[in-house]
Structure 1
Amino acid sequence: MAQKDYVSRGRTPQKNNKKAPAKKPQGKRQAKTKADTSNNASLPWMRLVVVMALLIGFVIFLWSIKDSAEQKVDSPVTSDVIKNKDDLPELPEEEWEYIKSLPGYEVEVDVAEQEKSDKRYLMQCASFRTRSQAEEMKATIAFQGLESQIRPSTGANGEWFRVILGPFDTKRDAERAKHTLRKVNIATCQIWFWNL
């Protein structure tokens, strides 16, 4: 089978069923062109006249506004306005009673005294395997203004070093110290009853 070369073959001729447009006579075309150019020449002059008329009208409008604005600014204040200002009553002086009554005022509050018990509170914050870790925790607690102790204890698991605070007379004092230590991220403290 032979291959066909479609590119070199070119296009097939097409039949043209359309009729060619009729040619117009040259005389009419030239006459129409002369009329168009005369209209085009008068059009820029018309535009220029309209723009100038609008510009002059705008300037006149601005001039009329300027005169009316100057009249409003220059007009003196009428005497009616001044009379209305004088008709207002004078402001009374305010008297505050609490200024006089506060210096001699005392508040009495009944505070129930806490019952003192024989029990004392101690707070254990940590328990470490090495003494150096316990000393480090003791230093952190000392920076908060609290005094702690390191107590060694020996048990079934070996030797431990406990960091304790106290003794505190009331549980409220122990809670206050516990909240102080929470500010520096020491949240492992526990309050217990201990006998010294």
Structure 2
Amino acid sequence: MATRDYVKRGRGPKKATNSRRKNPPRSSFPVKWAIIAVMLVGALGYGLYFLASEPAPAQPKPVKQEVVKPKPKPVSKPKPQPKPKATLPPKPEEKWRYIEELENKEVKVETKKEQKPSRPYLMQCGAYRSMAQAEERKAMIAFQGLTSQIKISQGEKGSWHRVILGPYPQKRKAESDRNRLRRAGIEPCAIWFWE
């Protein structure tokens, strides 16, 4: 089979173009809107010119009437009486009840008594077939400042080396140590009742 040179073979025949007539490109300047704007500005200018050239309506001249002023009688000025000083009553002293109520008030908060579990908790951080793996996990836990034990349990499929921590009197303390180990990358650890 001969190899084909796709680069030098050239381009294929031109595809037939659409025979529809293309719309002429729109002009960039909107002539129609420019004509409308010029007409509006011209109409506004003509209106202002018409208002300015029209003379103002003539205002009727007021008829002067002679007003006879009576001669003023000499009036003696009365002595101004001194204004009485506005005396305000003394400011009442405000007595707030809530201040006394808050000083003498005691808030009683009911706290739930922590229930003591019937038995202590343990935390298991791995179960391994070989003692070497269990010792390695125990050493990693010891680097975190916690002490652990290795318990060997016999099952149907052989013996398991379980790495456990505890006993813990409260589950909260066990969870605290589990979080500490989790931050160090030692997981999974499960918390159960001590057997």
TM over 0.5: no
TM-score norm. by structure 2 comes to 0.42
TM-score norm. by structure 1 comes to 0.42
